[in-house]
Amino acid sequence: MANQVLAFDGKTWVDRTPQVFDGTTWRAATPLYWDGAEWRTGAPPPREFPSYAGNASSIVSGDVAELPVPADVRTGDLVVSVCAQQGGAALPSPLLAPAGVLPTVYTLRSGVRLLVAVWPWEPSRGSTTVWDTAGSTTTAVMNLLYRGGDTASVSLTPVVGITEHLGVNQVPLDASQDYTTLYAVLTVSDTLTGAAWPDGVIPRAQRLGRFGTQQISLMTADTPGAGASPGALRLDTTVETAAV
């Protein structure tokens, strides 16, 4: 029910709630909100397999990594923010913005740190993610958008699992779950120039480190849940470290 609007007519409070005629009768107007692209009366029903809606990515150096959320973000979209750091101190709250979002943090044996945060976007969350990356020589950051997800069931620990591999040119992918599964593969190498995902896995965003320099590369792809491993990501060189 719409919020009631009352106005004082000099003697008493009277109902002045906006009304619309539906062809039969006058009724209170349903409040609308702007989701970034259109006016809506409420959030659309969630889908089992949220659709990919865009990404932004960058490789940076320095103590802070800032990255905009894709410009076509809408209220209710799920933002998946991935930050891969080549070293640096472990911090209790590495995601500086948006405030109040806690990332899942994994530190690999190689010293590389993978951080993942997921949250439903709304205007108060702002248009930029900011990571504290003090001490990291190279940092790869990505923001990916997924539309139609069940925002009410977003876990505080969205990463299902992570596995590290040393000295490999293929990275086996874990079994996909019964929903859209996002794979993030990071490597440390100075000769990696490309990679090939297996059939059924859709490449999304990719940031490769500079050739000839021992740097992080970050690659992402997704697939609907199938309950089995879709195969392996094939790399065009043997990398020192890979994690998925």
State yes or no: pLDDT of 1 exceeds 50.
no
The reply to whether 216 falls in a domain is yes
The reply to whether 59 falls in a domain is yes
Residues 22 and 114 both lie in one domain? no
Residues 163 and 222 both lie in one domain? yes
Q: Which of 19-23, 64-68, 90-94 has the highest mean pLDDT?
A: 64-68
User: Domain tally for the chain?
Assistant: 2
The reply to whether 46 falls in a domain is no
Residues 12 and 98 both lie in one domain? no
- Could you tell me the pTM of the whole model? 0.79
Domain that holds residue 60: 51-243
Give the span between the Cα atoms of 21 and 27, in whole angstroms.
Answer: 6
Residues 20 and 124 both lie in one domain? no
Residues 188 and 231 both lie in one domain? yes
Q: Give per-residue pLDDT as tens, 30-53.
A: 666 666 666 766 667 766 667 888
The reply to whether 16 falls in a domain is yes
State yes or no: pLDDT of 151 exceeds 80.
no
Instruction: Give 210's contacts (C-beta < 8 A, 6+ positions apart).
Output: none
Give the span between the Cα atoms of 116 and 123, in whole angstroms.
Answer: 21
Question: What's the pLDDT at 196?
Answer: 95
Residues 102 and 23 both lie in one domain? no
Average pLDDT over the chain, rounded to an integer: 83
Residues 173 and 195 both lie in one domain? yes
Question: What's the pLDDT at 33?
Answer: 61
State yes or no: pLDDT of 96 exceeds 90.
yes
Residues 193 and 234 both lie in one domain? yes
Q: Give the CA angle between residues 188, 194, 197 to the nearest 5°.
A: 100
Mode of pairing for the β-strands spanning 128-132 and 95-97: antiparallel
On whether the CB atoms of residues 76 and 43 are closer than 8 A, the answer is yes
The reply to whether 45 falls in a domain is no
Q: Give per-residue pLDDT as tens, 207-244.
A: 888 877 888 889 999 887 666 788 899 999 999 888 88
On whether the CB atoms of residues 151 and 183 are closer than 8 A, the answer is no
Residues 226 and 202 both lie in one domain? yes
Residues 15 and 92 both lie in one domain? no
Give the bridge partners for 33, in sequence order: 40
The reply to whether 1 falls in a domain is no
Residues 17 and 119 both lie in one domain? no
Residues 104 and 216 both lie in one domain? yes
State yes or no: pLDDT of 2 exceeds 70.
no
